[in-house]
Structure 1
Amino acid sequence: MLSTRGTGRQTMRIARWSAQLLQFDYTVEYKAGRENYVADALSRLPLGDEEWSDVVDEEEYVLNQVRVDSPVTVKELQDATNNDEVLVQVRKYIEEGWSGNHKSFPPEIKPYLILRDELSIVDDIVMRGNRIVIPMSLQAKFVDFAHSAHQGIVRTKQRLRETYWFPHIDKIVEETIKRCVTCQENDKSHRTHSAPMQSVEFPNSPWEKISIDITGPFENAPHDQRYAIVVVDYHSKWPEVAFCSNVTSRSVIQVLKTLFTREGIPTHLVSDNGPQFVSHEFEEFLEEYGITHVRSSLYYPRANGEVERFNRVLKSSIQNAMIEGKRSFKETTLDLLLAYRSTPHQVTGLSPSELLHGRKMRTKLDVKGRMPVKTQRKKNEVKQRVKKTKTKKV
């Protein structure tokens, strides 16, 4: 009877019984069923009024229990309930029944319709279980009272919901505390916001500015494929992926040298602050090749978003390959690179192969015997499209 069975509230009948028992100091003793004889009718007769004069009415006792911290009097609560159009309708439904099509109920009544089995009327006040339903005119006053100690959103909700209820109680509490000047000054309702993003200037030429990053380790991959060194061209969005067993500065330099023999030497290289990219050996390599090193902000991977975005695509493809269990990591990556390089990029409107090599790549989707045509789009058109797209995203 004293337990809520995990619901946090009791039905009105059980709440009245519990309130009645709380007036007494008693102990519970177990009595076997064979000794628990059925009481006779005379022992069940109620005592006279004179013998119960010091016992408070059970309904009144419940109200007294929930009014301990109330910021209003019972009379004010009763008057506000009688003047509340919604609660007047709710009281009518409680007394006469919730008959009819549920879809026909007004929107303001539906929150009460869902809880109709928990609602009751005590002393002209609408109750939900053992909690008082607050009229709309007093809701702000009760929320302010519950938040008088500026305890924050969670504790204010807990304090208020323990004794009172009204529709959208959580939302109203949150909005009230967000507007609280004291809480704002003490950072009670603080929310972290990301710094405004600034679009990176679009390079004039392919392979002028590249971005590099390391992803992994891939636990289920072969030893020589545990890590992937990823390079992306800022202009064409052309990706390069090289698998390796370790990610030292020497292995990164070897991958970059291979790329440079094929595509040429860029003027700028963007990386994070990983130990491979800040070592003396790596800095000497960049200085030898005349490359300007640009590092992203600490603990802010989005500053190197060009390669981080492709990393997400790569990891997703590898994860799918692991689920299928049919293809190796390298085969999956090669299929991804072929598709990615030949697909028009959302930002530029052209495929990476068109912007880097000036031609479309022939894939399995092309008609047999028909070679892809050379790209005719001018650089200015691409630059305008990139600017428009990035401005829209920002």
Structure 2
Amino acid sequence: MKASAPKPKWSDVSAMSSTTKSYWAQWDSLLIQDGVLCRNWENGRGDRCYLQMVVPKAKVPDVLQLYYSGCSGGHLGVKRTLLKIRERFYWVHCRDDVENCTSYAAVKGPQIRSRGALKLYNVGAPWERIAIDIAGPFPETESGNKYFMVVMDYFTKWPEVFAIPNQ
């Protein structure tokens, strides 16, 4: 905003929101073009420079909708969607909004799948508690067995395996 107004003093901005402070820190990268607030941004590798439109918080859902549901959209994943958005738009906490987008989450599902809680069993003596599982089918033996029944003692971890003809 070099042409329109001088940069406010930190003492004027320090009591404001973190978003305001973030824009204040980027003051030299901001400019007004055709009545629209924009930001000059150089990508992480330093090989491209973009003029990004600064998006008001109220319009963020519209931009996300454009990238997820528009004809050029699609659910590309967080990284690629973020790269595409940053080619044209900017707002503070853009990454958080892309990661938490309900449209994205509905299609991609949870990133960390919760598993059932494992239970600890207190066992005080051998063969007090056992686990049994059936493995197979395997090639049939001469005695007609195709499966194995595996029995494991919880206390000693001792396995016993028995050949059986069927489940």
**What's the TM-score once normalised by structure 1's chain length?**
0.27
1:98 aligns with 2:31: no
Matches within 5 A, 1:1-394: 95-101=5-11, 104-107=14-17, 108-129=19-40, 130-148=51-69, 149-176=74-101, 179-180=102-103, 184-185=106-107, 188-203=108-123, 205=124, 208=125, 266-267=126-127, 293=158
Structure 2: runs of 5 or more not aligned: 41-50, 131-151, 161-167
* Structure 1 residue 168, shift from structure 2 partner: 0.5
Which string of whole-angstrom CA distances, capped at 9 and with x for unpartnered residues, describes residues 74-131 of structure 1? Answer: xxxxxxxxxxxxxxxxx7xx61322242762401311112212211122221111121
Q: Offset at 1:174?
A: 1.4
Query: Root-mean-square deviation (CA), in Å?
Result: 3.3
Tell me how far apart the structure 2 counterparts of residues 268 and 292 of structure 1 sit (CA, whole Å): 12
Unaligned segments of structure 1, at least 5 residues: 1-90, 209-265, 271-285, 296-394
Q: What SS does structure 2 have at the residue aligned with 1:180?
A: helix
Report the AA paired with residue 119 of structure 2.
S
Q: Distance in 2 between matches of 1:96 and 1:155?
A: 36
Partner amino acid for 1:165? Y
Q: What secondary structure does 1:126 align onto?
A: strand
In structure 2, the residue matched to 1:231 is none
When Rg is computed on C-alpha atoms for both structures, the one with the higher figure is 1
Identity of aligned residues (%): 19
TM-score (ref. length: structure 2): 0.58
Q: Using a 3 Å threshold, how does the CA distance of structure 1 residues 293 and 128 change in structure 2: closer, same or farther?
A: same
The residue identity in structure 2 corresponding to 1:159 is: K
- Please list every run of at least 4 consecutive aligned residues from structure 1 whose deviation after the TM superposition is greater than 6 angstroms: none
Structure 2 counterpart of 1:13? none
Which residue type is aligned with residue 150 of structure 1?
Answer: H
* Equivalent residue pairs, number: 120
User: Contact 1:267 / 1:292 at 8 angstroms: preserved in 2?
Assistant: no
What is the letter of the counterpart of residue 97 of structure 1?
K
Contact 1:131 1:163 in 2 (8 A): yes
The higher relative CO (CA closer than 8 Å, separation ≥ 6) is in: 2
